[in-house]
Chain A
Amino acid sequence: MEFDPSILLGQFVSGLCRGMILFLMASGLTLVFGVMRVVNFAHGSFYMLGAYMAFSLTQAFASTPANFWIALALAPVGVSLVGGLVEYVLLRRIYSKDHLLQILLTYALIFVIGDLTKMLWGVDLRIVQTPPILAGFVSLFGHTFPAYYFFIIGVGLIVALMMWFILNMTRLGKLMRASAEHREMVEMLGYNVRGLFTVVFMMATWLGGLAGVVISPTVRLSLGMDMEIIIECFLVVIIGGLGNVWGALLAAFITGQLYAMGILVLEKYAMAFLFALAAAIIILRPSGLLGKAAR
């Protein structure tokens, strides 16, 4: 078979898209871990919730051409409100407890949110229409890409910039970094760490919800989509270094590319590359690509 180099470009762009979605997800996951020291197994559930909310909102505003943009603005907020509620009612009670119990609590949330989604939206596969303005195709170096791909990449970049700005330029960001380093000290200085945790969790679930909305026009929504993404996200945060947002960005990029290129080499085994890479990282460099030494 003649090898066509433009396939590589095609795979590169699709890998970039996948990487950006993973970054949106993994940045939230890693943020929650970095600041709160909680591994949120249910992060994928918030992503699924975002996608389903996008479905309902685009349906509800189907009469206006801007329905997708309304969903993009509102669904992540809706998801983060649910996230805030979960943090306030449940997570608060277990910060001082065993890590194992924290993991199990968020694991239990997967079941609860999954079934609530089933109750509200049913088991049918749902489709979200691509917004008309992005429904076309873009030609690039003789390859045609869906315009929506570039929207996904754009959102990823904007979020990365936003994260950089919040973490480095705002008081909130400084507090977040400080409590990641030394929670007790921040508390002793009189800051409201509990409130900070709620804010961080809401930010993370907002990001998860955003990822769900952004991916929704490219996939068929199904009840298994929460677990499909969460496992990949774990691999991304591990590869990047737990708690490190920029590590997550790098790892998401690598993971997206590895998957996209992996399909070319060993079509059936693409996911295996990711598990193998994650296993190698944990064994050889548990702090991840950009992480500090393990605490």
Chain B
Amino acid sequence: MTNANKTKWIAGSAVALALIALPFAVETWISQYYLYLIIKIIVWALFATSFNLVMGYGGMMSFGHAAFYGAGAYTCALLMVKTSCPMPLAFLTAPLAAALAGLVIGYFSVKIKGIFYFATLTLSFAQLLYILVFKWRSFTFGDDGIQGIASPALLSTLDTYVNYYYFALVVSSICFYIMWRIAKSPFGMILRTLRENPERSTFIGVRIQRYRLSAFVISAFFSGVAGALYVFLETSVAPDVFKWSVSGEVLLMGLLGGMHVFFGPALGAVIMVLLNSFITSYTEYWGLFIGITLILIVLFFPQGVGGLINEQLRSTMNRKAA
């Protein structure tokens, strides 16, 4: 085992241990609220990473990813309150429904050239779903949303968030691992080639649209998992999960953390959720803060925080190697 590999293993195990021990530390020293916040981070990190398969790896600027997050959340919530479907089944159906939505929306979208057209088309689809859920009262309860979604006693968040934290951690870790493998696989490589040079890829015989659609469906699937995780964290859901602002938020996380690094968007999610919680407790001008931060990032650090860290790491490693 090389030195670099060893360092990676040690760092990985340390992070894993820290994540497992986290609830005890938080419960002892801080408050339950922070555990809630941490689960929220996990949900958003998963959502942002899945989004990035389309955005960062596929080079497709989706402005409608709320559709898949919402589809996951609503499938789960509706199954729980309308049928006697057990929680694990509802939880597994949610990403499938989201992937189906991804297949339909992606089928039309992946052919579209031009970033603005792509963004508007995905936005239109997501808003159509939003209007549908918002207005179809008899089926979706409309803008009242769905309250009191009961999770099994083991995962209940009534007394403590600890159990649900572990559940979310395990589920998201599995998802992260699969997505990481996908991103590093030949499939992920081809996706990036498509992003960089679609014409060239066509010449060497890659079927662009098929790859893009696959990425879209996979991304939608994991966004659906994030949506389902969200439902049992909040035990309620409202049509707002479909809204453009959700799509915007996940996009901002991607940009903030860095879209060309696998863990960038997750890092962006950590920063955004924590900052939002701290800043909004001091001032009502969160928008001003995040707006200025974004402008600075666009102007000076377009590679994002994750990109910056990655560069730093690489240069230190190179220095050591030399």
- Spell out A's residues near B (CB within 8 Å): 33, 39, 90, 93-94, 97-101, 103-105, 107-112, 114-116, 118-119, 227, 231, 234-235, 238, 242, 268-269, 271-272, 275-276, 278-279, 282-283, 286, 294
**Contact assessment for A238 and B117 in the assembled complex, using a CB-CB cutoff below 8 Å:** yes
B128 within 8 A of A: yes
B123 within 8 A of A: yes
- Docked CA distance A116–B284 (Å): 11
On chain A, the residues within 8 Å of B121 by CB distance are 278-279, 282-283
User: Which of A101, A235, A272 is the one whose CB lies under 8 Å from B302?
Assistant: A101
**A to B CB contacts below 8 Å, 23 in the list:** A90-B295, A90-B299, A93-B299, A99-B115, A104-B298, A107-B294, A111-B288, A118-B285, A227-B244, A234-B120, A235-B120, A242-B117, A268-B135, A271-B131, A272-B131, A272-B132, A275-B131, A279-B128, A282-B120, A282-B121, A286-B112, A286-B114, A286-B117
B12 within 8 A of A: no
User: Which of B120, B284, B285 is the one whose CB lies under 8 Å from A238?
Assistant: B120
On chain B, the residues within 8 Å of A39 by CB distance are 116
If the complex has contacts A238-B117, A279-B128, A282-B117, are A119 and B112 also in contact, measured as CB distance less than 8 A?
no
Q: Is the interface of A mostly helix, strand, loop or mixed?
A: helix
On chain A, the residues within 8 Å of B128 by CB distance are 272, 275-276, 279
Given A108-B294, A115-B291, A269-B131, 11 more A-B residue pairs with CB atoms under 8 Å apart are: A99-B116, A100-B61, A101-B298, A103-B119, A109-B295, A111-B287, A115-B288, A234-B120, A235-B124, A242-B116, A275-B131
**Contact assessment for B284 and A118 in the assembled complex, using a CB-CB cutoff below 8 Å:** yes
If the complex has contacts A94-B299, A105-B298, A286-B112, are A116 and B288 also in contact, measured as CB distance less than 8 A?
yes
If the complex has contacts A100-B115, A104-B298, are A111 and B120 also in contact, measured as CB distance less than 8 A?
no
Nearest residue (CB) in B for A33 is: B116
B236 within 8 A of A: no
Nearest residue (CB) in B for A108 is: B294
**Contact assessment for A110 and B291 in the assembled complex, using a CB-CB cutoff below 8 Å:** yes
B248 within 8 A of A: yes
Q: Mark B274-308, 1 if CB is under 8 A from A, else 0.
A: 00000000001111101110110011001000000
- Docked CA distance A116–B298 (Å): 20
If the complex has contacts A104-B255, A276-B128, A283-B108, are A231 and B244 also in contact, measured as CB distance less than 8 A?
yes
- Docked CA distance A100–B55 (Å): 10
**Contact assessment for A112 and B292 in the assembled complex, using a CB-CB cutoff below 8 Å:** yes
B320 within 8 A of A: no
Q: Ordered nearest first, which 8 A-B pairs have the shortest CB separation? A: A111-B291, A108-B294, A112-B291, A115-B288, A111-B287, A115-B287, A275-B124, A279-B124
Q: Mark B103-129, 1 if CB is under 8 A from A, else 0.
A: 000001001111111011101110110
- Docked CA distance A118–B290 (Å): 15
- Docked CA distance A283–B110 (Å): 10
On chain B, the residues within 8 Å of A227 by CB distance are 244-245
How far in angstroms is the closest Cβ of chain A from B128? 5
Q: Is the interface of B mostly helix, strand, loop or mixed?
A: helix
User: Which of A94, A103, A116 is the one whose CB lies under 8 Å from B61?
Assistant: A103
Nearest residue (CB) in B for A282 is: B121
On chain B, the residues within 8 Å of A94 by CB distance are 298-299
Nearest residue (CB) in B for A270 is: B131
Nearest residue (CB) in B for A111 is: B291
How far in angstroms is the closest Cβ of chain B from A73? 30
On chain A, the residues within 8 Å of B113 by CB distance are 286, 294
- Docked CA distance A108–B252 (Å): 9
On chain A, the residues within 8 Å of B286 by CB distance are 115
Most buried by A among B244, B245, B291, B299: B291
On chain B, the residues within 8 Å of A97 by CB distance are 302
- Docked CA distance A110–B295 (Å): 11
**Contact assessment for A111 and B124 in the assembled complex, using a CB-CB cutoff below 8 Å:** no
- Docked CA distance A148–B135 (Å): 32
**Contact assessment for A103 and B287 in the assembled complex, using a CB-CB cutoff below 8 Å:** no
How far in angstroms is the closest Cβ of chain A from B10? 36
On chain B, the residues within 8 Å of A115 by CB distance are 285-288, 291
How far in angstroms is the closest Cβ of chain A from B272? 12
If the complex has contacts A231-B244, A268-B135, are A108 and B124 also in contact, measured as CB distance less than 8 A?
no
Nearest residue (CB) in A for B118 is: A282
How far in angstroms is the closest Cβ of chain B from A236? 11
Most buried by A among B111, B113, B125, B128: B128
Nearest residue (CB) in A for B59 is: A100
Nearest residue (CB) in A for B299 is: A93
On chain B, the residues within 8 Å of A275 by CB distance are 124-125, 127-128, 131
**Contact assessment for A282 and B288 in the assembled complex, using a CB-CB cutoff below 8 Å:** no
**Contact assessment for A294 and B114 in the assembled complex, using a CB-CB cutoff below 8 Å:** yes
